[in-house]
Amino acid sequence: MVLPAQVDLGEKVNLVGNLKALGDWNPNEGPSLKWHEGHNWQMTLNVPVGTEVNFKVRSTDHVILATPARAQVPARSAGCSCA
């Protein structure tokens, strides 16, 4: 997953969602994304094929994507198609 987001220096961007790997909706438990040049934040999440993933994107101080996003892991791919 790659997410473009410009946040203040020192802030972190993380996901929180419906899976244990995403913190089970606990904002203090969700995984952090890594910053890349161009204000792109990136992470890889390994989940079983066919898993429905619901998540929000947060920075240290606020929600970046307030409406939960949904992704379905395709049956023939280890990747994720995020909507």
Q: Which residues of 28-61 are buried (b: 16+ CB within 10 A; e: fewer)?
A: eebeebeeeeeeebeeebeeeeeeebebbbbbee
Structural domain boundaries in the chain: 2-82
> Which of the two residues, 50 and 77, has the higher pLDDT score?
50
Separation of alpha carbons 72 and 19, rounded Å: 13
Specify the pLDDT at position 65.
Answer: 60
So what CATH class is 2-82?
A: mainly beta
**What was the pLDDT predicted at 24?**
95
What is the rounded distance in angstroms from the CA atom of residue 30 to the CA atom of residue 65? 14
Residue 35 confidence (pLDDT): 92
- Taking the complete model, does pTM exceed 0.75, yes or no? no
SS3 21: helix
For residue 23, the model assigns a pLDDT of 94
- pLDDT tens figures, 10-59: 888 888 899 999 999 998 899 999 999 998 889 888 888 888 888 888 88
CA distance 63 to 80: 22
